[in-house]
Structure 1
Amino acid sequence: MGENYLGSLTNAKLTKVILTIAHLDHDKENWEVKDERLKALCQRCHLVLDKDHHAENRRNTISKKKGLEPLF
């Protein structure tokens, strides 16, 4: 590695990584927080994991604001 490796670090950009705890599932019928259903992820990976869940929540919120809640 030597000088070339160290030289490349002088131009490196420091980045702050936020560590989060993610629920590996969002099963509403069986909502128990157990260690085996949790995982430490960086903030970006956590957002990617929860992408579909967040989209569903967003649709539900918009529907409620418009008064379009499901009848059943």
Structure 2
Amino acid sequence: MGLWRAKPDPHRPRLWVMVALHVVQLVILGFVSWAAVMRGGGVSPWALIIMVPLAALIVRAIIRELQRPG
């Protein structure tokens, strides 16, 4: 059987590009939260239910990009 090693995909964007895109997503998410608080309305529980898992998924994607081979 032997060991199977994944080859890097030449068409996939570079690591720093993918990490930068995910960081931009986190910044936008943070700005939306900050804007809601600055309006005086605060952040609704429904917004937190959506934004906290979304932020966790984005952070997980950043970690996955940093751990990928190549």
Higher percent of residues as strand: 1
Which structure has the bigger radius of gyration? 1
Q: TM-score range by the shorter chain?
A: 0.3 to 0.5
TM-score under structure 1 length normalisation: 0.32
If the length of structure 2 is used for normalisation, what is the TM-score? 0.32
Query: Which of 1 and 2 has higher RCO (CA within 8 Å, sep 6+)?
Result: 2
